Amino acid sequence: MNKGLNLVSQKWDDAYLSGKYANEKPIPFVSDILTTLKTYNLFNGYGLYAGCGNGRNYIPLVDAGLQLAGLDISTKALGQIKSKLPKNHNQLINDNFLEYETSGLFDYLVSIQVFQHGTEEETTQYYSKTASLLKPGGLFFLRVNSTKTQIVRSHTIIDTNIYGAKTITYTDGPKQELSIHFFSKNELEHITQDLFETVMPLREVVMDRELPEMGQWVQWEGIYRKHAKDSS
């Protein structure tokens, strides 16, 4: 693991050891995932949750009956899942998503608040990597940062693009030194259009931060389906 990934891994280990997501309920998007899998007859398929963390949303999906592998860069997060789902330990993978390799393809892939981590170049790679891991017709469930998020912590903008999106690096707080990308709708549509067809159009979810944090956190949610046939 390179120096940058070591920093990311350590930051997330520290976050989960400090209790991140420990008492938080799963987000409502979990219900959309389950409903859509049933609609497309993929509920009994095999999926990958990229960036499963310590299980806030992963565990409810498994408890609902999904056959779902969980991948995360944080060993501490995966350890917390193992303590709650000891029978599922062989489905947990400690790896960086962009470096992850597997001999088989998945019926669906879930990524919730993960594909925003990194520079614009790095985050764009997540989508082509997702397509490479899915079977034709496979489903992709996405939730990422919106540019409408109110960024309250000290930060530096390190890049912007023609779609109105931007990447920042925090200069203090638990994510200090980490790069985070904030997507515009036009950017996401551009990135995904050649890889997937749209199942659920993008929607913005606005959340008030819990005190003492201030401002609003805004996320895009979308559901996609890998093209059933190669467009070539």
pLDDT digits (tens, 9 = 90+) for 5-39: 566 777 656 766 665 666 789 999 999 999 999 99
Contact between residue 57 and residue 112 where contact means Cβ atoms under 8 Å apart:
yes
104-131 per-position pLDDT tens digit: 999 999 999 999 999 999 999 999 999 9
pLDDT at 68 over 60: yes
The pLDDT mean for the chain works out to 90
Distance of alpha carbon 142 from alpha carbon 215, whole angstroms: 23
What is the spatial distance between Cα 64 and Cα 26, in angstroms, rounded to a whole number?
A: 12
CATH topology for the 3-226 domain: Rossmann fold (3.40.50)
* Token pair listed for 109: 């892939």
How many angstroms separate the Cα of 47 from the Cα of each of 6, 34, 107, 168, 200? 27, 12, 6, 31, 19
DSSP 223: E
Structure token pair of residue 116: 């925003």
What pLDDT sits at residue 172? Answer: 87
CA distance linking residue 145 with residue 111, whole number of Å: 12
Identity of residue 33: I
Better-predicted residue by pLDDT, 210 or 34: 34
pTM, rounded to two decimals: 0.92
